[in-house]
Structure 1
Amino acid sequence: MTNELLGIHHVTAMTDNAMRNYDFFTNVLGMRLVKKTVNQDDIHTYHTFFADDIGSPGTDMTFFDFPNNPKGTPGTNSISRTGLRVPTDAALEYYLDRFKEFDVENDGIQELFGKKVLPFQEADGQKYQLFSDENNEGVAPGTPWENGPVPEEHAIYGLGPIEITVSYFEDFKKMLTDVYGMKPIIEEENVTLFDVGEGGNGGQVILRNDDTTQSRQGYGQVHHVSFRVKDHEAIKDWEAKYNDMGMQHSGHVDRFYFEALYTRVGHILIELSTDGPGFMTDEPYETLGEDLSLPPFLEPKREYIESQIRPFNTKRS
């Protein structure tokens, strides 16, 4: 069975304002919009993908635009914080200064599991954490955005460790190890750090134990996390594995840019996604993310879709 997880694929969160979110990710964080499309399960809403220079797997933070949804409430039984990777400790200092310039709420540079980190949050309350790759080994990073507003030597170039907080810590920990093959490498009171695939900042999960306030889904919260698998054969192997274990799942889903498989472990929606085909199949490199892209099965509905969604300008070329 080809069932090894290769690392983190993407994280999908919810925003109440795709335009503000676009401005924050491109002009403040310096991540490239590599795809502006719609939520394939709700074509009246945007789905935007921010990633490295070429949309490499393991680098994209994606958003559903739900302007009429209520604001989410942080708490337990949620994906509580998303990690983003930068090359060096000096890059953290660069972003600390940048956050002061753009008035981004942050907690200052800290240390977590022996790594330098910079926790911060977006205006809607979505929580992130920059991880320094200095002395990091494991899953390779992506490629910094060549023409972005942040110098390449400092720029975000991948997803970092994903933090999950649950009230059923031991049960969830057992699922991560027994079903997904994750390896606990640091175990402290009420927190465990897991390696996924080759590990390092691009392949780690932080699991925290918390039985206090229950989170509530809404904008400003994470919708799901996805982990990388190699190809179509791997997805089908995981589908068979879920069936053998009696786990409910979505069945194989072709998202055009990648193939996917979804299941829920407790409150946490976990997706598995293939590394390809990728985001450069329907747009040239120079203008990635500048126009509304639709997968072939939605192309006949383009006129209707464009009449329903709020246009916003993402032209940069």
Structure 2
Amino acid sequence: MYKILGHHHVSMITKNAQINNDFYQKVLGLRRVKITVNQDDPSMYHLFYGDLTGSAGTELTFFEMPYAGSTYRGTNSITRIGLLVPSIESLAFWKSRFEQLNIKHGEITQYAGRDALHFEDSEGLRMILLNNAGDYYPEYWSPWDHSDIEQKHRILGMGTIEITVRRLKRTAKTLKDLFGYVEVSLSDTEAIYQSIAGQSFGEIVIKQKEGERERPGKGSIHHLAIRVKNDEELRFWDEAVKERGFQSSGIVDRFYFKSLYFRESNGILFEVATDGPGFTVDAKVEELGKELDLPPFLEERREEIEAKLTPID
């Protein structure tokens, strides 16, 4: 059986691409690696931030929806994104930086067994910086040397993702029995699963909570994509998802990678995405994120698409 190799990316909703761009580049020091559009609705931006090349496992992506309202937080939703930093000293650095920049944040605490610093972006998206403490992370994650953050404190990539659901065991069963995640801990109200034992770059925390389903808006998380190597593995997972009784989108060619989408029993939207070909398929490394890139099937509509987008820096 094939293994899920970790997180691929996580996708969110922003109301304003320029404000979003300023936060993730200027506050968090990530590289904007791709400006493109939502392929299912080309009237909206789809922005990607990550490491030097937007490697799988480092990508934070945002759909711009100018008419998005506030998020009404609730259950049956992806509720928090973990980002790995090198050390406990890095958490102290970020706490001081957030204080200087008036970014909403908490105190240094513990989360899923790691030193942690909770914070929110300018639209209320909940995130946590996690101390990687010298642990292994994918060797292909590549630092972006033009970040304003010195290397010893830079964000490395994605860590623990938190999902809150009404029926914990249903989501746990999907991770464990369908995808082969390792069960680290399980109680009546919380569980931790890892795609690769001992590694936080594929870790998911599931929390059980009754109540109203979250009503998404700006600062909400749309879906989590998990990582597979290639088309062959993706075809395997497409069949496995269907055999499990879930409705798969089938394989979708996103040009930068191929994907399938499905909702598990609590309604959480998962994407399974291939590593490649990656963001350098239509741009040189040094030019990533500077201009609007469109997949070939949308290129003939460039003039129309650009006319509907508000320019960003």
TM range (shorter): over 0.9
SS in 1 for 2:293: coil
1:253-312: CA deviations, max 9, x gaps? 010111100000122100000011111111111121010000111111101100111111
User: Which residue type is aligned with residue 297 of structure 2?
Assistant: F
Partner residue, 1:267: 267
C-alpha contact (below 8 Å) 1:119/1:128 kept by paired residues: yes
SS in 1 for 2:301: helix
Aligned pairs (5 A) from 1:246-261 = 246-261=245-260
SS in 1 for 2:20: helix
User: Which residue type is aligned with residue 209 of structure 2?
Assistant: D
SS in 1 for 2:225: strand
Deviation at 1:69, TM superposition (A): 2.0
CA distance in 2, matches of 1:230, 1:160: 19
Off by >6 Å, runs of 4+ in structure 1: none
Bigger shift: 231-240 or 206-215? Answer: 206-215
Partner residue, 1:300: 300
SS in 1 for 2:199: coil
- C-alpha change, 1:260 and 1:239, in structure 2 (3 Å) is same
Partner residue, 2:216: 217
1:119-172: CA deviations, max 9, x gaps? 100121110011111043465572222111100111012011100000011222
Partner residue, 1:65: 64
C-alpha contact (below 8 Å) 2:178/2:244 kept by paired residues: no
CA distance in 1, matches of 2:178, 2:203: 16
User: Which residue type is aligned with residue 64 of structure 2?
Assistant: D
1:100-127: CA deviations, max 9, x gaps? 1111000121112331111100121110
Gap regions ≥5 residues in structure 2: none
- C-alpha change, 1:139 and 1:182, in structure 2 (3 Å) is farther
C-alpha contact (below 8 Å) 1:7/1:198 kept by paired residues: no
Please report the RMSD computed on the Cα atoms of aligned residues, expressed in angstroms. 1.4
C-alpha contact (below 8 Å) 1:139/1:201 kept by paired residues: no
User: Which residue type is aligned with residue 122 of structure 2?
Assistant: A
CA distance in 1, matches of 2:217, 2:6: 26
1:36-91: CA deviations, max 9, x gaps? 00000110000000001121110000000001122221121100001111111111
C-alpha contact (below 8 Å) 2:10/2:225 kept by paired residues: yes
CA distance in 1, matches of 2:197, 2:5: 7
Aligned residues: 312
CA distance in 1, matches of 2:260, 2:191: 26
Partner residue, 1:27: 26
C-alpha contact (below 8 Å) 1:31/1:148 kept by paired residues: yes
CA distance in 2, matches of 1:136, 1:188: 26
C-alpha contact (below 8 Å) 2:36/2:47 kept by paired residues: yes
CA distance in 2, matches of 1:205, 1:11: 12
User: Which residue type is aligned with residue 267 of structure 2?
Assistant: H
SS in 2 for 1:108: strand
CA distance in 1, matches of 2:109, 2:187: 18
User: Which residue type is aligned with residue 278 of structure 1?
Assistant: G
CA distance in 1, matches of 2:280, 2:254: 14
CA distance in 2, matches of 1:22, 1:41: 22
C-alpha contact (below 8 Å) 2:23/2:122 kept by paired residues: no
User: Which residue type is aligned with residue 234 of structure 1?
Assistant: E
Gap regions ≥5 residues in structure 1: none
Aligned pairs (5 A) from 1:127-142 = 127-137=126-136, 139-140=138-139, 142=141
Bigger shift: 182-191 or 63-72? Answer: 182-191
Partner residue, 1:107: 106
Bigger shift: 299-308 or 241-250? Answer: 241-250
User: Which residue type is aligned with residue 253 of structure 2?
Assistant: D
CA distance in 1, matches of 2:38, 2:160: 25
Q: Give yes or no for the alignment of 1:196 onto 2:230.
A: no
Partner residue, 1:120: 119
